[in-house]
A = this chain, B = another copy of it.
Amino acid sequence: AFSQDIDHILETQSALAVDLGGTNLRVAIVSMRGKIMKKYCKPNPKTYESRIQLILSMCEDALQDAVRLNCRILGVGVSTGGRVNPQEGVILHSTKLIQEWSSVDLRTPLSDTLHLPVWLDNDGNCAALAERKFGHGQGVENFVAIITGTGIGGGIVHHHELVHGSTFCAGELGHIMVSLDGPECTCGSRGCVEAYASGVALQREAKRLHDEDLLSLEGVELKKVEAVSAVHLISAARQGNTNAQAVLKTASTALGVAVVNILHMMNPSLVILSGVLASYYQSPIQDIISQRALVSSQSIKVVTSDLEEPALLGAASMVLDYSTRRTY
């Protein structure tokens, strides 16, 4: 009977998870075991006011559904792009991917309206938290999570805890520079790994090849340049297109060199890749490590994540870990 009670509590204790990305605003009800009970998705509004309003209304809808689903919501966890002060619940600074999203106190309006405790951190750090609680990072003392999607983000776990740094700017893995010059980055610098290997960077190169009529694809007719994406680049490379192969080689090398830089700085035992390009990059990263890492850090493992929603699960894990610990 006791173990049944525990099971029941574990099944009903849940979190609201919010994920604020460059494109979408998503909310989910996540159980203690990491099951996504229900998920909501809308385009992320372009202004601060309408964004806050939409977060609140989506959360209120989810809270009503949670009652019907027999989920007891312990709090709200938010994953967002940009630099975050998780102690104050403030978004310090965002790049242009999310507009009107710098110096924003997100905790106060959410907790005032929803009457729930609110935690937040950036998307990369949330991906790492998700791995620590539900993924390959469980029980691993030192690991790094890298998420390659539209941009590149990540989080560093050292002695089982996230590294936030002195001004909450640690783990900004997309802005590790792998070139003294290199392509321009959204952050204002050049040569960042994000400007070489992110989905946006690959799309930029794919469009360039398409413009120059160098991205021919068997059985595919690309009329509109807008439709060209990283997927076409990868397909073309697999069909033997040497231009596409060269672009992907540079992107993979850039990401591999960034990973080796992480090894030489933090020396984790595990690197976990997530995002749409994770499976593509895994093997080239391993190659670059064997070519360019110090002997003492060759033993590192590079794996791809098994989690379908790292940002949402990581956002939920802040609620599930902290509210049951009763400390913050």
Residues of chain A touching chain B, judged by Cβ–Cβ distance below 8 Å, are 83, 92-93, 141-142, 156, 158, 163-173, 175-180, 187-191, 250, 253-254, 257, 260-269, 291-297, 299-300
* Interface contact A163-B269, CB-CB below 8 Å: no
Q: Are A265 and B141 in contact (CB under 8 A)?
A: no
Could you tell me the distance between the alpha carbons of A263 and B257 in the complex, rounded to whole angstroms?
A: 17
Contacts of A267 in B (CB 8 A): 163-170, 172
Contact of A83 among B142, B158, B294 (CB under 8 A): B294
Chain B's nearest CB lies how many Å from the CB of A133?
20
Assembled-state Cα–Cα distance A187/B254 (Å) = 19
Copies in the complex: 2
CB-CB under 8 A from A293, the residues of chain B are 189
* A156, A250, A268, A296 pick with most chain B CB within 10 angstroms: A296
Q: Which residues of B contact A295 (CB under 8 A)?
A: 83, 93
Residues of B within 8 A of A260 (CB): 177, 189
Residue pair A265, B156 in contact (C-beta under 8 Å): yes
Q: Which residues of B contact A93 (CB under 8 A)?
A: 294-296
A247 → B minimal CB distance (Å): 13
In the complex the two chains form, what is the Cα distance from A156 to B261 in whole Å? 14
Which chain B residue shows the least CB distance to A82? B296
B residues within 8 A CB of A262? Answer: 265
Contact between A178 and B175 (Cβ–Cβ < 8 Å)?
A: no
Nearest residue in B to A191 (C-beta to C-beta)? B257
* 14 further interface pairs, Cβ-Cβ under 8 Å (given A156-B265, A158-B163, A175-B294): A93-B294, A156-B266, A168-B267, A169-B296, A171-B265, A172-B264, A172-B265, A176-B261, A178-B179, A180-B250, A180-B253, A180-B257, A265-B265, A266-B266
- Determine the residue in chain B with the shortest Cβ distance to A178: B180
Q: In the complex the two chains form, is A165's CB within 8 Å of B268's CB?
A: yes
Q: A23 vs B158: C-alpha distance in the bound complex, in angstroms?
A: 35
List chain B residues, Cβ under 8 A from A253. 180
Bound-state CA distance A175–B295 (Å) is 12
Assuming the A-B contacts A158-B163, A265-B265, A266-B265, are A294 and B169 also in contact, with contact meaning beta carbons closer than 8 angstroms in the complex?
yes
A263 to chain B, nearest CB (A): 7
Closest CB of chain B to A84's CB: distance in Å? Answer: 10
State in angstroms the CA–CA spacing of A257 and B172 once bound together.
Answer: 14
B92 engages A296 (CB within 8 Å): yes
